[in-house]
Structure 1
Amino acid sequence: MRRRSGKGNRVGLALCGLVPLAAGGLALARALGAFGGDAARRPVIDAGTRSFAATAPWFWPVVAAVGFVLALIGLAWLLALLRADRLRRLRLESGTSGVTEVDAHPASEALAAQVGAYPEVRRAHAVLRGSSDDPRLDLGVSAVEPADLGALVTRLHDEAVPDLRSTLGLRRLPATVRLDLASGHRPRPGRGVSP
């Protein structure tokens, strides 16, 4: 399902980009004389279309309405792309006596705080994605150079992710870890904050 929607988004974005690009390229070619000097000197909109637009009082409101609808469609598409498949609630148990759910955000924030406290980590960001029946962990870690990335990945694999999985009572929790090396030192805690 995600692959299909991703492919549809890529095709849609490509078409939305290619159509104006082709129109702009043709207009530029015409202005530079690729279709002859006479075509370059003529207005883009011919006299018949200009007179029709001037005599039809509904023409410009319709153009404005079509532009407004296209802008709303584009905005809705953009919002749909920005709305990640972030998991809001995680179902721990369901049965005849009821359903037990937890908010997924505090669990991922706790994992980010745990990983962020590692000495070689500058900051961490964790998000649970997918569905309540099939959650996935997306973990971004910014490590301070010269961190031992192998040891860090081993610690994430053997400690952090299993801790979250056992806390939530999940049998499996696929995880994607994105590592980023940051130059400099780990920031010192501010005044009044114990290390």
Structure 2
Amino acid sequence: MLKTVNRVLLGLFGLGLFVLGGGVLLGGLDLQRRWGFDVPGWWPFRGPDDVVLGIEGRTRWREEGWWWPAVIAALALLLVLLLWWLLAQLRKDRLGQVLVDSEGGATSQLNGRALAEVIEEELKALDGVSRAHVRLTGRRTAPAARVRLWLEPHGEPEQTLGRLSRETLARARDSAGLDRLPSKVRLREVRHGAHRVD
């Protein structure tokens, strides 16, 4: 959901900046006169001497009692929305807690980082795995695992993925009482530099 909102907001913001910048360039470089085309009557930038906001536009609502409170409220709302958006970007999508279904219908919480670290340690113990990084994402009731593995040159990807799926993730799923634990796995090969032997 957050990715979709980001894309829509960034797209609208970029489109607005593109239109505004294009309008300023058209007027500032006097391109409509040079290239021989007309701009619509409502277009504010008609030549290099035009300004973004003229005297009439700046002073039109100054005497109205509602003008300044409305401007301040709109700017404050815009500031709050931009701060919310910034905080949403900084927030990591790491899952903090996993809800575990205990006996008798009671639920308890399992630390998501602890579960990820256990999975990492089991993966590092597999033959051919040099390093592992696991991050839990999703919802507390339906977590998903993102796994990155760095394989040694002798490591076999098919065997490693099989053991990851059948053993490591299956144990984590069963120990947390989850019906399923979907995962995305990225494999990389560790590159060792050449060493000089004297």
Aligned position for 2:84? 76
Matched, 1:49 2:46: no
State whether residues 144 and 184 of structure 1, in contact with CA within 8 Å, keep that contact through their aligned partners in structure 2: no
Q: Distance in 1 between matches of 2:153 and 2:80?
A: 45
Change (3 A) 1:121 1:65: farther
Shift of 1:147: 4.4
Match of 1:19 among 16, 33, 42: 16
Q: What value does the CA root-mean-square deviation take over the aligned residues?
A: 3.5
Change (3 A) 1:79 1:144: farther
Instruction: Within 5 Å, give how 1:52-63 maps onto structure 2.
Output: none
Shift of 1:111: 0.8
Match of 2:101 among 64, 83, 92: 92
Residue segments in structure 2 that go unaligned for 5+ positions in a row = 35-45, 194-198
The sequence identity of aligned pairs, in percent, is 26
Aligned position for 1:7? 4
1:150-181, CA deviations, whole angstroms, 9 ceiling, x for partnerless residues?
33222322332123223324342221212234
Aligned position for 1:108? 116
Q: Give the match's secondary structure for 2:102.
A: strand
Segment drifting more, 60-69 vs 73-82: 60-69
Q: Give the match's secondary structure for 2:132.
A: strand
- Matched pairs, number: 181
Shift of 1:51: 5.1
Shift of 1:83: 4.2
1:5-40, CA deviations, whole angstroms, 9 ceiling, x for partnerless residues?
543442222112211222112212221212337612
When the two structures are superposed, what TM-score results if normalisation uses the length of structure 1? Answer: 0.70
Residue segments in structure 1 that go unaligned for 5+ positions in a row = 186-195
Q: Give the match's secondary structure for 2:51.
A: coil
Larger radius of gyration: 2
AA aligned to 1:35 is Q
AA aligned to 1:100 is S
Change (3 A) 1:95 1:36: farther
